[in-house]
Chains A and B, each alone.
Chain A
Amino acid sequence: MTPALELRGIDKSFGPVQVLHDVAFSAYAGEVTALVGDNGAGKSTLVKCVGGIHPIDSGEYFFDGRPVRIGSPRDAAELGIEIVYQDLALCDNLDIVQNMFLGREHRRGIVLDEDTMEAMAAKTLESLSVRTVKSIRQLVASLSGGQRQTVAIAKAVLWNSKVVILDEPTAALGVAQTAQVLELVRRLADQGLAVVLISHNMNDVFAVSDRIATLYLGRMAAQVKTSDVTHAQVVELITSGRSGDLGLTNGATV
C-alpha cells in the first residue's frame, strides 16, 4: 500500500541546532498513526515541516506516492493536509459555522452564502456523528473543551482533506471528553483519511492507533504496528530510543 504521506531523510536545522536528523515517516489512508516522543524530540517541528510552516533543509516528501514540494501552509492545504494545533485557533466571538469556514467562506458575488455554509457544516458534523452541540449557530465561546476540539477537527475535515494531523487533541480534556474525541479520531480514519495523532498519553495511543512512530532526539527511533509492541516497549523507545532489537543503534535507524 502506498502511504498517503511519506517523508524520507528529512533534515531540519534552526541555525546551529539540528532538530531533525534523517527522519523517515509515513501515514496511511484509513489508519491512525501515532507520533510519540519525549518533549523536545522534534514532534512539533516534524509536523510543522509537513504542514509547510518550516521548509525542510533536505529530504523527500511524497504525497500519494508523488514527490511534492511544500513551500507554504497553502501548498499543504491544497494537497489536502490539515493540521489541528493544540491551541485550536478558534475565534470565540464567532459561531461554529463561521469558525469552520473562516478564511474560506462560500460566497455568492460579494455576499456570504450563509445557508450553504450552514448546511455543509451541519452535514460534516453529522457525518462525524457529532451530537453534542445544541446549535451550530452558537458562539464558540460557549463551548466546552471537548466541543471546541470537535469543531476544530470538523473544520479540518470539511475540505475533503486526505491527511489530518492532530496535535495533542486530548491534552486538556476530561475523561469523558477524551473518550469522545478519540472516538472521533477513529471515525476519521474509518472514513478513509490518514490521521496522524500526536500524543503523550500511552492509553490514548494504544486505544486508537494502528501504527506508532517514535521520535527520539530528532531521530525516528522506530515506526511499528501498534499490535506488534507493548506499552512498555513504546515507553522504552521514547525514553532511550531503543527497546530490544527495535530502535536506534549508535544513532542510526535499524
Chain B
Amino acid sequence: MTATISPKRVSEAPSIRSNVRGYAERVRGGDMGALPAVFGLVVLCTIFAILRPSFLTAGNFANLFTQGAAVTVIAMGLVFVLLLGEIDLSAGFASGVCAAVLAILLSSQGLPWYVAVGAAILTGVVIGTGIGSIVAKLGIPSFVVTLAAFLAFQGLVLLLVKGGTIIAIRDETILAIANKNLPPALGWILLAVGVAGYAGLQLLRARKRAARELTADPVSLIAVRVGALALLGGLAVYFLNIERSRNAAVVSLAGVPLVVPIIVVLLLVLTFVLRRTAYGRHLYAVGGNVEAARRAGINVDRMKISAFVICSSMAAIGGVIAASRASSVDPNTGGSNVLLYAVGAAVIGGTSLFGGKGRVLDAILGGAVVAVIENGMGLMGYSSGVKFIVTGSVLLLAAVVDALSRKRAAATGLR
C-alpha cells in the first residue's frame, strides 16, 4: 500500500478494457485460474487433429463426452474436498461400490431404476459421512483415512460382485444415460434457453447493482460473455447434431449425448452452491484460513463432513454413469486410473491442492484435458502404458503449475 491518502475509493467505471487488464494482472500475479487447462486443451487438440484427422470427426467428438463424463463428475465432487485442503483417494472405488449397489438392485432385485439410483447416491452419502466424520472428529489426515477406504472399497466391490463376475445392466433408462442422445432439435432448444437465461440473469444483476450505485458490469462486457457462450455452445451442438452413424438408414446416431445436459445441470447446481450460498462461502473460508473460519462461528467439522458427503455422492453419480457406459459393473469399476484421472482433472483445471481455490467448472475443463489425452493417444495407437505415463506427467505438470503460481503469488503479495 502506498500510505499516502489516495483519492476516495478509486472506482473507475468498469469496461471491457479494465476487465481484461484486471485479468492480465491476476495472471501475472500467479492466479492462473483455468488458463493452463484451456491452453493445454487447445495445444492437445491441435496436435491430435494434425496427427490423426479422425480425432476431429463428429463421432469422436461425441465419444469424448461419454468417455470423460464419469471421471469429470467425480472430479466435480473432489473440488469440494480439495477446497478444504483435504483429499479423497477413495472416490474412485466409492463410485465402484455405488455402481455395484446400483447393478445389484437393478439385476438381482429387479427394482426400478430410480430406486436403484437413489440407493446408489444414498450409499455415497453414507460413505462420505463416514469418511468425513473420521477426518473431522478424530483428526486423522484425510490422505490416510481415504487411502484405507480406497483399499477397503476395492475389497467391498469384489465382495458385492461375488468375486469377479460381471453384473450386466439391462435397464433402458440407466443405459440411456451414457449411450443415448438428445433429439437434435431439443439440443438447440436447450442451448437457446441456456444462453437466454444466462443473458437475462447477467443483465438483471447489472441493472440491480447499477440501481444501488454499485459498480456493475457494462452491457458490452455482458454481450461479449453471452456471445462467447452462444458461439461455443452453438459450435458444440452443431457438431454433435451431425449424423455420426455409419449406416444412418438402419440406426440414426446424432444429437447431444445425454450426459452433457446432466453434467451442465450438475455444474449449475454446484456452482450456485459454491458462489451464491453461505455454505459455499464458508467452504472457501475454511480452506483459506481454518482459524478465521472458526472464529467467525463456522462449524468447521460440519463443513468437512459435508464436503466429503458431496464428494462421495458425486462419485456415486459418476459410478452410475460409468456403469451405464460399460453396460455392466465389474470388480474394476471405478478402479485403476479413475481416481487419479479425477484428481488430475480437478488439479489440471486449476483447483489448488492447498485448499481455498477452485471452481466446479475447473473440474470440467480438467476432465476435458484428461479425456482428450486418453482419446487422442488411443487413436494414435499408443498402449495404455504410454497413456498412463503421459497422464501422470500432465498431472505432475498441473501440480507444478499450482505450486509455482502459489509461490509467485506470495512473491507479488497476492496471496
Are A and B genuine complex partners? yes
Q: Tally B residues with Cβ within 8 Å of A.
A: 39
With beta carbons under 8 angstroms apart, the residue of B281, B284, B357 that contacts A105 is: B281
**Interchain CA distance A89-B9 in the complex, whole Å:** 24
Q: A141-B409, A146-B3 are in contact. Are A94 and B295 (CB under 8 A)?
A: no
A228 to chain B, nearest CB (A): 33
B residues less than 8 Å from A88 (CB atoms): 292
What's the Cα separation between A98 and B7 when bound, in Å? Answer: 23
Over the window 113-149 of chain A, the binary record of Cβ atoms lying under 8 Å from chain B Cβ atoms (1 yes, 0 no) is 0010011001000100001111111010111101100
Given A105-B281, A135-B11, A176-B3, check contact A92 B289 (CB 8 Å).
yes
Chain A's closest residue to B29 (CB) is A142
**A217 CA to B252 CA, complexed, in Å:** 87
* Cross-chain contact A110 with B8 (CB below 8 angstroms): no
**A136 to B291 Cα, complex, angstroms:** 23
Q: Given A102-B281, A102-B296, A135-B11, decide whether A94 and B288 contact each other with a Cβ distance below 8 A.
A: yes
Looking at the complex, which one of B5, B215, B281 makes contact with A131 (CB distance below 8 Å)? B5
A interface, over-half SS: loop
Identity of the chain A residue whose Cβ is nearest the Cβ of B279 in the assembled complex: A110
Is the beta-carbon distance between A102 and B6 smaller than 8 angstroms?
no
**Beyond A105-B278, A146-B1, is A115–B288 a contact (Cβ under 8 Å)?**
no
- A residues near B (Cβ < 8 Å) are 73-74, 85, 87-94, 98-99, 102-105, 107, 110-112, 115, 118-119, 122, 126, 131-137, 139, 141-144, 146-147, 174, 176-177, 180
B33 at the binding interface (Cβ < 8 Å): no
Interface status of B124 (Cβ within 8 A of chain A): no
**How far is B293's CA from A102's CA once the two chains are assembled, in angstroms?**
8
Cα distance A164–B288 when bound, in Å? 25
The dominant DSSP class at the B interface is: loop
Q: Are A115 and B1 in contact (CB under 8 A)?
A: no
B residues less than 8 Å from A126 (CB atoms): 9
Q: Are B413 and A142 in contact (CB under 8 A)?
A: yes
Within 8 A of A (CB), among B266-325: 276-278, 281-282, 284-285, 287-289, 291-293, 295-298
Contact of A91 among B29, B208, B288, B409 (CB under 8 A): B288
Per the bound structure, the CA–CA distance linking A93 and B414 in Å amounts to 9
Alpha-carbon distance A174/B2, docked complex (angstroms): 12
Say yes or no: A93-B356 contact (C-beta < 8 A), given A115-B208, A119-B214: yes
Answer whether A174 and B278 are a contact pair too, CB < 8 Å, given A102-B292, A115-B208: no
In the bound complex, residues from chain A placing their C-beta under 8 Å from that of B9 are 122, 126, 131, 133-136
Residue with the highest number of chain A CB atoms closer than 10 Å, among B9, B208, B215, B293:
B9
B285 touching A147, Cβ below 8 Å: no
Contact: B6 with A131, CB < 8 Å? yes
Q: What are 14 pairs between A and B in contact, CB < 8 Å?
A: A88-B292, A89-B296, A91-B356, A94-B281, A94-B285, A94-B288, A98-B284, A99-B292, A103-B296, A115-B209, A115-B214, A131-B9, A134-B6, A177-B1
Also in contact, A74 and B297, with CB within 8 A (given A115-B208, A142-B414, A176-B3):
yes
B208 / chain A contacts, CB cutoff of 8 Å: 115
Given A73-B297, A142-B414, 10 additional A-B pairs, CB 8 A:
A91-B288, A92-B356, A102-B292, A102-B296, A112-B277, A119-B212, A134-B10, A135-B9, A141-B409, A174-B3
